[in-house]
Amino acid sequence: MDVIKVAILGFGTVGEGVYRTIQTHGDELQATLGKRVEVASILVRNKQKSRDIREEVLVTTDFEEILQFPQLDIVFEAIVEKEPTFTYLKQAIQKGCHIITANKEMFAHHGEELLKLAEEHHVSVGFEATVAGGIPVIQTLGQLLKINRVQYIQGILNGTSNFILTEMREKKLSFQEALTQAQENGYAEADPTNDVEGFDAFYKSMILSRIAFGEQPNWQEVEREGITSITSELIETAELAGLRFKHVASIHKAGDNLTAIVKPVVVGKEHPFYHVEGVENAVNVHSDIVGRITLQGPGAGMFPTASAMIEDLVYVCQTNSSGPRPEKSGTATISDKNNETKQQWLIHGHVKNYIHPSITWLEQINETTFIVEATKRDVDQLNQQEQSLRYFTILGEYEPIKKPVKVL
């Protein structure tokens, strides 16, 4: 066989990016794999849409037609939602095809089953594009940090949310204007609720957790919040304090306890996430030998995602394993950052002469915004007194701007 025949499921932002990259990088693929890569078929939902696809490629709405093709080696999947995607990919594996997916919602739910099935059928699964767009974080964690014990991971994992927060701050766009631009640029999901309510970052963090820790936290116990309540006023106030809002997913292991939180935080200038702007994503991996590594790059969009999938094409052709699956025992633990650990917070709202022995009021930014040092339990108590209060963890050290605290 001197040709590798592939099918692409979906011809939206990602599917078209894969198709075009196979055309533009055919020589590099052939030189690396020793075989020509040919797109044989493409699955779409609506055949009437006009698309720039070569005549000899089968374009169909019927997955059965793709499966029946005389030669089919690899299936790229870039459609949406869990079904019918999961069913299609199972069928492709059972037919002996390698699969490469960008669909994190499906993979967070069914990745384990697909990896197991692939192992049984001696084919491989590429899923680099499911997390952090073009950043090779899956391969880095799964293949290049095998001896290091991962302690915790923090990531800006949703390009759309980071793009919106950046546009609202830099260009003073409204939330809706920024979201519309993210949709026009092909960053947002078909239903952007997944992006702006934190589901997309949640799915990605669960995939990362499986790679880094060999397990996932109980999904029901993961605190998940998106960016829809981050107003322009909050963004401007944080800026007065030298802080920027970022939507961050964190996964920690303390003892046997694996926890994850997905929510907006504020970051100081010294933190590596401060300068991660626009559609960029970044992942901080803290491990016992190397310390902290930050991987940063484009988190969404046509070609960054195609890049991850095309590199996966080489990976699945050159390996017989069904994807990175580290052992659970290879992870380190750190002391629990629990409700009793003191940390810094940005607090926004009307605080009326509230005195608490263990809250340290560091600075007052304006009438309604304070920087404090306190435990999670303390700020929760504060919130019980004033339910309209908003509070956000500060990542990185807060650098005081030297405004006196009037509240005390």
Q: Would you say 240 and 395 are in contact if contact means Cβ atoms under 8 Å apart? A: no
Reduced to 3 states (helix: H, G, I; strand: E, B; else coil), residue 288 is coil
Q: Would you say 331 and 211 are in contact if contact means Cβ atoms under 8 Å apart? A: no
Among 226, 301, 323, 324, binds ligand NAP (CB under 6 A): 301
According to the 3-state scheme, what is the secondary structure of 77-133? ECCCCCCCHHHHHHHHHHCCCEEEECCHHHHHHHHHHHHHHHHHCCCCEECHHHCCC
134 binds ligand HSE (CB under 6 A): no
133 binds ligand NAP (CB under 6 A): yes
What torsion do the CA atoms of 354, 357, 362, 363 make, to the nearest 10 degrees? Answer: 10
Q: Residue 85 Cβ, how far from ligand NAP at the closest point, in Å?
A: 7
Catalytic residue among 49, 90, 171, 204: 204
Stretch binding ligand NAP (CB under 6 A), from 79-87, 149-157, 251-259, 282-290 = 79-87
Among 16, 167, 189, 280, binds ligand HSE (CB under 6 A): 189
- Selection from ligand NAP, ligand HSE, none that 195 binds (CB < 5 to 8 A by kind) is ligand HSE
The sign of the torsion formed by the CA atoms of 407, 365, 246, 150 equals negative
Residue 52: Cβ within 10 Å count: 8
Nearest to ligand NAP of 86, 187 (CB atom): 187
CA 200 – CA 193 distance, rounded (Å): 9
Q: Residue 247 Cβ, how far from ligand HSE at the closest point, in Å?
A: 10
C-alpha neighbours within 13 Å on the C-beta side of residue 19: 24
Q: Is 204 a catalytic residue?
A: yes
- Selection from ligand HSE, ligand NAP, none that 158 binds (CB < 5 to 8 A by kind) is ligand HSE
CA 339 – CA 324 distance, rounded (Å): 34
CA 143 – CA 124 distance, rounded (Å): 14
Q: Would you say 113 and 107 are in contact if contact means Cβ atoms under 8 Å apart? A: no
Nearest residue to ligand NAP, scored by beta-carbon proximity: 12
160 binds ligand HSE (CB under 6 A): yes
133 binds ligand HSE (CB under 6 A): yes
Among 1, 27, 31, 46, binds ligand NAP (CB under 6 A): 46
248 binds ligand NAP (CB under 6 A): no
- Order of strands, edge to edge, in the sheet holding 36-43? 58-60, 36-43, 3-9, 74-77, 98-101, 125-126
126 binds ligand NAP (CB under 6 A): no
Tokens (6 digits) for 42: 């493409």
Task: Fill in the per-residue mask, 177 to 196: x = in contact with ligand NAP (CB under 6 A), - = not in contact.
Answer: ---------xx-xx------
Among 11, 202, 245, 391, binds ligand NAP (CB under 6 A): 11
Residue 49: Cβ within 10 Å count: 9
- Site size for ligand HSE (CB under 6 A): 11
- Site size for ligand NAP (CB under 6 A): 27
- 294-323 residues in contact with ligand HSE (CB under 6 A) are 299-300
The catalytic site residues sit at 204
What residue ranges bind ligand HSE (CB under 6 A)? 133, 158-160, 187-189, 195, 200, 299-300
